[in-house]
């Protein structure tokens, strides 16, 4: 596979330069948040943090206190619905992420500005670039789209990359296969189990690899399957697999 860059200015940096640029951006963010965000100002003051002593990434890890889910929920309860960590006027919000609530103790809510959405989308858009996709390519995305961050970030990444999405979460698998063929999809975004199920159904329905010749890449949140499973997926679809677990 040819080497493709989504953001060459970052991806071509050596490790030392990369970390230096990381800290430069982080330092600017710490200064701004410390000056303008009531939640973090209180949180850092309570820990005794002096931002002037944070001069590299190692000091950041050692000195800046973590926040917990309980911290976030307490902030929301005191200042509903977002807490006073929001950091912007509510008229600037363009989106909302809510956590799943699987811990059983509550759901955090995060208001998002246009800039936040841009960052969320860009954090995933590189997978399309690395997969060799181009504007106008059709992507079959089976990730669930709710109030959770992952699905919404996929939508934004597709928009930024000017791809043509078919959102197929929950669709009948036979219909998914028909959509891939009919619309000449260039990419399928699905978990390994679904890819194997689609493969088994395709064989049962009489499809061949040639029917999926338009598919140039498979993108999957791998979650560490056996490598033999990855090889099986690649062999059937005839396309390289770009694993989210590797990016």
pLDDT digits (tens, 9 = 90+) for 88-107: 999 999 999 999 999 999 99
Instruction: Please give the pLDDT value at position 247.
Output: 35
Looking at the predicted structure, is the pLDDT value of residue 71 above 60?
Answer: yes
Encode pLDDT of 9-31 as tens digits: 999 999 999 999 999 999 999 99
Alpha-helical runs (H) found in 48-148: 57-63, 69-78, 114-130
Separation between Cα atoms, residue 240 and residue 219, nearest integer Å: 9
To which residue do tokens 């943090």 refer? 49
As a whole number, mean pLDDT of residues 214-234 equals 78
- DSSP state at residue 136: T
Percent share of the chain, pLDDT over 70: 94
Q: What is the pLDDT of residues 114-145, one digit of tens each?
A: 999 999 999 889 889 988 899 999 999 999 99
Answer whether 41's CB lies under 8 Å from 32's CB: no
Reply yes or no on whether the pLDDT at 245 is more than 50.
Answer: no
Query: How many of the other CB atoms lie within 10 Å of CB of 231?
Result: 11
pLDDT in the model for residue 237? 87
Give me the pLDDT at residue 53, please. 93
Q: Which of 214, 211, 205, 209 is nearest to 234 (CA)?
A: 209
Query: Which tokens in the block code for residue 179?
Result: 């959509």
Let me know: does 216 contact 186? Beta carbons within 8 Å. Answer: yes
Distance CA 95, CA 110 (A): 8
By C-alpha distance, which of 146, 118, 102, 131 is closest to 1? 131
> In the predicted model, is pLDDT for residue 83 greater than 60?
yes
Evaluate if residue 111 carries a pLDDT over 70.
Answer: yes
- Cα-based angle 60, 63, 65 (whole degrees, multiple of 5): 100
Which candidate, 183, 189, 190, places its Cα nearest to that of 137? 183
- pLDDT at residue 59 greater than cutoff 50: yes
Statement: the pTM of the whole predicted model exceeds 0.75:
yes
Q: Phi and psi at residue 27, in whole multiples of 5°?
A: -60, -40
């Amino acid at each position: 596979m040819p080497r493709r860059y989504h953001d060459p200015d970052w991806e071509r940096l050596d490790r030392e330069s990369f970390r230096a640029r990381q800290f430069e951006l982080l330092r600017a963010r710490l200064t701004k948040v410390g000056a303008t965000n009531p939640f973090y100002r209180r949180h850092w003051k309570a820990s005794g943090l002096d931002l002037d002593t944070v001069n590299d990434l190692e000091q950041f890890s050692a000195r800046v206190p973590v926040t917990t889910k309980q911290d976030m929920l307490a902030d929301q309860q005191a200042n509903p619905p977002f807490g006073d960590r929001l950091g912007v006027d509510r008229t600037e919000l363009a989106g909302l992420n809510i956590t799943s609530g699987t811990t059983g103790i509550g759901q955090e809510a995060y208001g998002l500005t246009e800039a936040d959405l841009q960052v969320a989308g860009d954090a995933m858009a590189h997978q399309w670039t690395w997969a060799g996709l181009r504007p106008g390519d059709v992507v079959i995305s089976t990730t669930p789209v709710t109030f959770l961050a992952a699905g919404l970030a996929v939508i934004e990444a597709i928009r930024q990359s000017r791809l043509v999405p078919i959102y197929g979460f929950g669709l009948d698998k036979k219909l998914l296969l028909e959509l891939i063929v009919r619309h000449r999809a260039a990419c399928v975004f699905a978990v390994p189990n679904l890819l194997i199920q689609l493969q088994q159904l395709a064989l049962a329905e009489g499809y061949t690899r040639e029917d999926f010749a338009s598919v140039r890449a498979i993108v999957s949140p791998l979650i560490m399957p056996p490598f033999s499973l990855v090889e099986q997926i690649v062999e059937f679809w005839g396309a390289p697999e770009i694993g989210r677990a590797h990016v």
